[in-house]
A and B are shown apart, each in its own frame.
Chain A
Amino acid sequence: LAKTTQPISMDSYEGQEVNITCSHNNIATNDYITWYQQFPSQGPRFIIQGYKTKVTNEVASLFIPADRKSSTLSLPRVSLSDTAVYYCLVGPRDDKIIFGKGTRLHILP
């Protein structure tokens, strides 16, 4: 499984757009990029998944450059409730998930 590197923590303010970048230099051809969100004392929750270019859903956007060696999760107009840990995962679909350290996002009022 490709190793991922993402910032340990980030701070932002309510109403701002937050971009969290993840590096995955060893991504394989059949790997997908998936992001999960975890609140304290809860199980992770799926946010978005992509393979290339851009994916958007009602929660976030995922930007993937042509070389796929990195990806950026974009959260539009964050609120205090977006304070959580965000995990970037890279691997084949339907494979077991190995979590990295994640990014602890703290939204300030």
Chain B
Amino acid sequence: GAVVSQHPSWVICKSGTSVKIECRSLDFQATTMFWYRQFPKQSLMLMATSNEGSKATYEQGVEKDKFLINHASLTLSTLTVTSAHPEDSSFYICSERGREGSDEQFFGPGTRLTVL
């Protein structure tokens, strides 16, 4: 099956800085990838759908200018948290849809962001 990696696995940054998180599909060309955010003891919240070669589609309430998504190739999507603040501290997870007709989405291992 498909394998998804994320980099970094964890990052600590100062308030006001920007952080980029990479999501890679290791053995499948993913035209569509998804970004989620998960706070402690809560469920995953879908932030946006990342489409290769086009603009991302953001869920309601997610600031597109704060969470920049780039999907320039079929194997890489990036999420940049701009001007991060402590309330952006969270677990960020990406996923890929998998091959057409597949039962499942494949999730990355997640990136723990801590903003001081």
The total of chain B residues at the interface (CB under 8 A) is 24
Closest A residue by C-beta to B1: A46
- The answer to whether A34 touches B103, judged by C-beta atoms less than 8 angstroms apart, is yes
The total of chain A residues at the interface (CB under 8 A) is 20
Q: Does B107 lie at the interface of the complex (its beta carbon under 8 Å from any beta carbon of A)? A: yes
Contacts of B45 in A (CB 8 A): 99
Q: Roughly how many angstroms separate A69 CA and B78 CA in the complex, as a whole number?
A: 38
Q: Roughly how many angstroms separate A38 CA and B36 CA in the complex, as a whole number?
A: 14
Contacts of A99 in B (CB 8 A): 36, 43-46
- The answer to whether B49 touches A46, judged by C-beta atoms less than 8 angstroms apart, is no
- The answer to whether B108 touches A102, judged by C-beta atoms less than 8 angstroms apart, is no
Closest A residue by C-beta to B104: A46
Contact of A102 among B4, B34, B43, B103 (CB under 8 A): B43
Show the binding face of B for A, using Cβ within 8 Å: 4, 34, 36, 43-46, 49, 91, 93, 95, 97, 100-110, 112
Show the binding face of A for B, using Cβ within 8 Å: 32, 34, 38, 41-46, 49, 87, 93-94, 96-102
